[in-house]
Structure 1
Amino acid sequence: FDLKKRTWSEEMCEILGIPRSMLPQRIVKSADIVGKITKEVSKLCGLLEGTPVVAGGIDAPLASLSAGVLEERSHVAMVGTSICWGVVHKGQHLSPKLVSFPYVAYDDQMIYTFGGAATAGGIVRWFRDQFGDKEKEVERKSNISAYKLLDEQAVEISPGAEGLLLLPYFMGERSPIWDPDAKGTIIGLTLYHTRKHVYRAILEGVAYSLRHNIEAGLESGLELAEECIMVGGATRSQLWMKIFSDVTGYPIKTLVQNVEAPYGDALLAGVGTGVLGSYESIKDWVRFDKTIYPDQKAKKIYDQYFIEYKKAYESLKDTMKRLGKIK
């Protein structure tokens, strides 16, 4: 898609070997009404015949819209199984390390640029499933989340996990390194370290991946708001929110209603059908919960770890690639 011409790129179609005829002939905006519920479909889904169908969008920018993001510089991190971090702007600065396309609101004016980590909450779940039998048993008996129990242990460990550094590339990695051969790595293990050290290192490693994407955006010239909004399942962990804030240096804002992309789609439907008067009226439907501020002492520690985080990947990426080829 050519961001300047707002249509399919003939040049890229030729380079990629994709016939132009294979791409949709009709390009619409996210809030456009693209049809109506037919009689047949009405019987299948229960929606009234004639109900307008709005185009909608994909998850990450819709999660941003669910947070009321309409202005330039606003940036949102959607942290669930993976991470999608994105910023809205007018297209002055585009980075080849990140992905850009028209935003789901003000499609003709605004660009959404995002970076993504392939694994975030997915690593946390992996740790719980592989090493958290005790916590899962307590959860079954008391209904206290195993994740909460693991957090309560990890909070006892100081920033930096006492010398542990985790590269969270458990399924390769997307931006900004774009390396399918990248592997999850734990550096610094000693006999002194315990499960809670490793768990905290996981939370911190994922936060470094978010900072890495933010850094790529800043290096391209993008300007960011002073606060980062965060949505997704990770927001249920106060410890993780604090780590994200301390690692990135940004205050983290969370929402009262953490329903992400489906809510953004509903708001788009409201705009497209006229139920909501304008994009700006979306803000009336958004409620923020609280803001978590970075601790500067912890930030200085994490700054040093982040330097080593980037160096570690550069030093190990060839080894990672070779490991994947051993039969």
Structure 2
Amino acid sequence: MRDKVTLGVDVGTSSTKGILVRPDGSVLRSTVRAHAVQRPYPGHVEMDGRVWWQEFSEIARELLVPGDVEVIAVGLSGMGPCLLLTDAHAEPLRPAILYGVDTRATEQISHLTDELGGEETILDRCGSILTTQAVGPKLAWLAANEPEIFAAGRRIFMPASWLGYQLTGQYALDLHSASQCTPMFDIEELEWFSPWAEALRGSIELPPLKWPGDVLGTVSAHAAHTTGIPLGTPVITGTIDAWSEAISVGAHEVGDLMVMYGTTMFLINTVAEPLRTRSMWGTVGAVPGTRNLAGGMATSGAITAWLRDLFGSPTYPELLAEAETAGPGAHGLLMLPYFAGERTPIMDPDARGTIAGLSLAHTRGDIYRAALEATALGVRHNVTTLVEAGGRIDRLIAVGGGAQGKLWTQIVSDVTGLPQVIPSQTIGASYGAAFLAASAIGDPDIAVWNPPSEIREPNPVLRVQYDELYALYSELYTATRSVSHTLAAQEHRLASDTKERP
């Protein structure tokens, strides 16, 4: 007898993951396809959207090859908010512009903020000010810098909606993703805000809106032939990966805070009512009726991967062991994790990574420990800002690849002073997508699917030391901001000269 399963697929920044999950939440099997983003110019981070469908098709074929399963629904998620512009036939016109790590539209952010009545006006309507995370300025950048491509644009997609279209032929976007298309979405009315959307969309047809767990459509004959998924299988609309991660651990009750350990670090706090602050993003939740206050760091796991490459590719267990030996404070090192600018709460695309306190006595373990502590200090900065904005934290749940080891999560708990729930499954977004798919055709319980496995308690002995380090962390950004901005301007100028040189 064949297992009935849901297929969950997530397109992340560094890989696409696929998973088959049984009705009781147990994982039958999974697979991964690694990929890389393109950085054609400082501040530009892109990816060919065609890769998303290619990898999805390969993953589906691999997972379904044994023929021992019956796929009863398909769940989707992906990094975002991204901007994939296509023509009327849904053919990509250029690589997708990625989420807040792509900082190209700073000029458009400034101009649009002025044109639309200032930050307070936008914040009131949309729940967030304009930042590098927002889709609207990216559209404005295309209109100004690639006018022919923009003029040919007829549809916009994000990874989940792109996969959904390829599977079903249905054009739609989930409400959460739409809420990050600032300033085109009204967060109170839960619909496109025509006056501002019309000013930005050109000839683009804005997608109809659905909840992430709604059934988008069913697998078409062409998609069935390409992927091996049976014709007529239900496909959910899907959403952005961090919100699918929150679904995977049941973090959608008021007071829940999900911390996602990945290439970037993401935090989602479920709140009782829409909250507004310039320093975070107010969004629609992934579950009907929920609202979130969210934050995201531009780098976290990306720094540890970068360091690993610089160190000659030792294994991560080796580096973690050395970092643990280094101990709290990394023998007097302090790092700012702004290696790709920073998103929340400082909203500074021209911030830069900094390592303070280096001496000839420091080891790679010290530097690696400082990187882990830097991301933890960034989490504390975001948590502090969330609470000051009116958020409430009753429960912190960790998820993502970085949550699988003990040291990183322990450092975050020690630095923030908050215990963390470590769930049984930390797979993340693909698992959340599979759960949403199962929910579309049944009534599964995430508490049964993914119960807690342990609680990571903060070490009270380290509280004073990390309080002092956090004060220095805050001071270091203020002290180096002007220098970092000057160096960032030089980087952009040199890159521009190189790009224009014949």
Is TM-score (shorter-chain normalized) higher than 0.5?
A: yes
Task: Give the C-alpha shift of residue 260 in structure 1.
Answer: 0.5
Aligned to 1:49: 231
Q: Partner letter of residue 310 of structure 2? A: Q
Identify the structure with the greater strand proportion. Answer: 2
Query: Which residue, 285, 306, 311 being the options, matches 2:449?
Result: 285
Distance 1:19 1:132, change over 3 A: closer
Separation (CA, whole Å) in 1 of partners of 2:195 and 2:380? 33
Matched, 1:93 2:261: no
Task: Give the C-alpha shift of residue 181 in structure 1.
Answer: 1.0
Q: Partner letter of residue 218 of structure 2? A: K
Aligned to 2:476: 312
- RMSD (CA atoms): 1.7
Deviation digits for residues 298-327 of structure 1, max 9, x if unmatched? 121111111111111112111111112234
Q: Partner letter of residue 264 of structure 2? A: S
Deviation digits for residues 4-59 of structure 1, max 9, x if unmatched? 11111235436xx3138735352111111121112222111111111112111110
Aligned to 1:143: none
Q: Partner letter of residue 33 of structure 1? A: V
Percent identity among equivalent residues? 34
Separation (CA, whole Å) in 2 of partners of 1:83 and 1:212? 12
**Corresponding residue SS for 1:163:** coil
Q: Partner letter of residue 193 of structure 2? A: S
Aligned to 1:262: 430
Aligned to 1:4: 188
Separation (CA, whole Å) in 2 of partners of 1:34 and 1:191? 58
Aligned to 1:82: 264
Aligned to 2:222: 40
Contact 2:401 2:427 in 1 (8 A): no
Aligned to 1:149: 318
Separation (CA, whole Å) in 2 of partners of 1:190 and 1:39? 63
Separation (CA, whole Å) in 2 of partners of 1:259 and 1:162? 33
**Corresponding residue SS for 2:332:** coil
**Corresponding residue SS for 1:239:** helix
Give the TM-score of the pair, scaled to structure 2.
0.59
Query: Which residue, 69, 88, 112 being the options, matches 2:292?
Result: 112
Separation (CA, whole Å) in 1 of partners of 2:240 and 2:400? 15
Aligned to 1:127: 307
Contact 1:86 1:115 in 2 (8 A): yes
- The aligned length equals 307
Contact 1:66 1:261 in 2 (8 A): yes
Task: Give the C-alpha shift of residue 231 in structure 1.
Answer: 1.0
Deviation digits for residues 155-184 of structure 1, max 9, x if unmatched? 122311222110011111111111111111
**Corresponding residue SS for 1:176:** coil
Unmatched segments (≥5 aa) in structure 1: 137-145
**Corresponding residue SS for 2:391:** coil
Contact 1:61 1:112 in 2 (8 A): no
Deviation digits for residues 85-139 of structure 1, max 9, x if unmatched? 111123242322111222111x2x2112211111111111111111145xx3xxx
Unmatched segments (≥5 aa) in structure 2: 1-184, 495-502
Q: Which runs of 4+ in 1 moved over 6 A?
A: none
Matched, 1:175 2:344: yes
Matched, 1:190 2:354: no
| Structure number with higher relative contact order (C-alpha < 8 Å, ≥ 6 residues apart) | 1
